[in-house]
Amino acid sequence: MMTGQEYIESLRKRKIKVYLKGKQIPAQELVDHPFIRGHVASAALTYDLAHDPVYENLMTTTSHLTGKKINRFTHIHQNVDDLLKKVKMLRMISQKTGTCYQRCVGFDAMNATYATTYEIDQKHGTQYHDRFKKFLEYIQKTDFMVSGAMTDPKGDRSLRPSQQADPDLFVHVVKKTDEGIVIRGAKAHATGMVNSHEMLIMPTISMKPEDAEYAVCCALPTDAPGVLHIFGRQTNDDRKMEGEIDQGNAKYGIVGGECLTVLNDVFVPWERVFMCGETEFAGMLVNRFASYHRQNYGGCKSGVSDIVIGATAAIADMGGYSKASHVKSKLNEMIHLTETLYACSIACSAEGYQLPCGSCFVNPLLANVGKHNVTRYIYEIDRIAQDLAGGFIATLPSESDLRDPEIGQYVTKYFQGVKGVATEDRLRVARLIENMTGGTALVESMHGAGSPQAQEVMYSKLANLENKKKMALRIAGVKVD
Ligand code: SF4
Ligand code: FE
């Protein structure tokens, strides 16, 4: 298993092409760029914590393929205990970063692909599962970070992949040879992509037979020839070029450092192709990935909310109003919402079950309901945080003003709170609340792991409304079949 430092050094060896604000960033400098380094730092923690005896039980496990000790982020869940440990691990890491550490996407993509390739082979007599196992063994051995790449740009949402005016709006196979396939298209919102070693490409929706060239799942290095990444902008990102205070989160980035990954006729050898044309399995892969990823959100977001609650309580202490009864009651409401999120993730894990390949899957109904709660409760938690923190989180002068030899004294004097608390500390906490409750961070809670409508579609199907009707009619004394 790599350490955080080894992970960072290994990223420097890539020839990755990343564009940021109109410029290509030299590959070796990428991990030190102010826009990127916070995301690298939080991902690096998933490596360092695996070597910490305190967290070993959550962070590491035994590979079912090789019997060797591995980082949990490269594991295939074998049982309910694995699923529960995943959620607990995510909450624990979020409590240390206050933000996303990106490595779950590839983790979930690998679990979904592992299970789905087994079932494709059962039906079609293909060799995808064995191929995937070899790829997985490579990832477990190298401890590489894999970015899960699912979301296509999608163009006109009313049209299927094969109906789009521009055929590249969904990733598709443009050529097949004896050696492999050539793919073209792009993947959007790719979390942690620019600081990953590999990407695992998956289809983004269920497909019909006419979409065959779009039903493709494969793995390739993030610096493969023909691949380029355009890094996304975030709220207040230019502040990262300045001091630490105005960033809010002193060390780690905001959410996952997403990008648009462009695939310009990229060659993928057959040993790394795990689906190619089996359209009837695209939906299964999407749903499994989505459920595994939605399982996470009550884990990582409850940990992030722990920080928001702590920062809100601290800012109330620093302002001298933490004893007011409405403050206590609002903090309790934040706790209630946070633990409700966590409960859903624990519940969907506790109700996990074995798939035909032998790995363990979450209860998809509860996983989807849990993520749907995130799209509402995080807004409510953050709303209360902003309510209690006060308007100064939006009107504070900059760190440069605080440090200025002439006017710094006014910032220090007029932003002081209770005696004994340094103004700078109060400003740091205020900026953390600003960072965690607004802009990019909030939108991620809405759309990360899929938009609310995507969850509604899944839980409405899984809830079996017809059965509920029958149960009610029976109790009412109405005769039913
Ligand atoms: Fe993991 Fe949460 Fe980040 Fe998704 S948002 S990658 S689940 S930490
Ligand atoms: Fe996400």
How does pLDDT run across 159-175, given as a tens digit for each residue?
Answer: 999 999 999 999 999 99
Find the catalytic residue in 218, 300, 344, 348: 300
Domain 291-463: CATH class, spelled out: mainly alpha
Instruction: Give the separation between CA 214 and CA 210, rounded to whole angstroms.
Output: 9
User: What integer is the mean pLDDT of 202-206?
Assistant: 97
Nearest CA to ligand 1 atom 6: 102
Beta pairing partners, 200: 148, 219
Beta pairing partners, 242: none
Atom nearest to 102 CA in ligand 1:
6
How does pLDDT run across 128-152, given as a tens digit for each residue?
Answer: 999 999 999 999 999 999 999 999 9
- Identify the weakest region by mean pLDDT among 196-200, 254-258, 311-315: 254-258
If one residue of 83, 97, 110, 296 were mutated to test the ligand 1 pocket, choosing by the most ligand atoms within 8 A of its CB, it would be 296
* Helix or strand run (H / E) with residue 379: helix 364-389
Ligand 1 lined by 100 (C-beta under 6 Å):
yes
pLDDT of residue 480: 87
How does pLDDT run across 300-340, given as a tens digit for each residue?
Answer: 999 999 999 999 999 999 999 999 999 999 999 999 999 99
Task: Name the nearest CA neighbour of 231 among 27, 24, 43.
Answer: 24
pLDDT of residue 378: 98
ipTM exceeding cut-off 0.95 for this assembly: yes
Q: Which residues surround ligand 2, an ion (CB under 5 A)?
A: 448-449
**pLDDT confidence tier of residue 250, bands split at 50, 70 and 90:** confident
CATH code of the region 4-283: 2.40.110.10
User: What integer is the mean pLDDT of 392-402?
Assistant: 97
pTM: 0.97
For Cα atoms 212, 213, 216, give the angle at the middle one, nearest 5 degrees: 95
Nearest CA to ligand 1 atom 1: 104
User: What integer is the mean pLDDT of 101-113?
Assistant: 98
Return the domain boundaries, the chain.
4-283, 291-463
Which residues lie closer than 8 Å to 175 by C-beta, 6 or more apart?
181, 182, 265
Instruction: Give yes or no: 293 in active site.
Output: yes
How does pLDDT run across 409-437, given as a tens digit for each residue?
Answer: 999 999 999 999 999 999 999 999 999 99
Report yes or no: 342 and 303 within 8 Å, Cβ to Cβ.
Answer: no
In this model, does residue 33 exceed pLDDT 90?
yes
Instruction: Give yes or no: 300 in active site.
Output: yes
pLDDT of residue 25: 98
Average pLDDT, the chain: 97
Task: Name the nearest CA neighbour of 35 among 199, 261, 242, 260.
Answer: 242
Nearest CA to ligand 1 atom 8: 100
Nearest CA to ligand 1 atom 3: 100
Atom nearest to 256 CA in ligand 1:
3
Percent of the chain with pLDDT over 70: 100
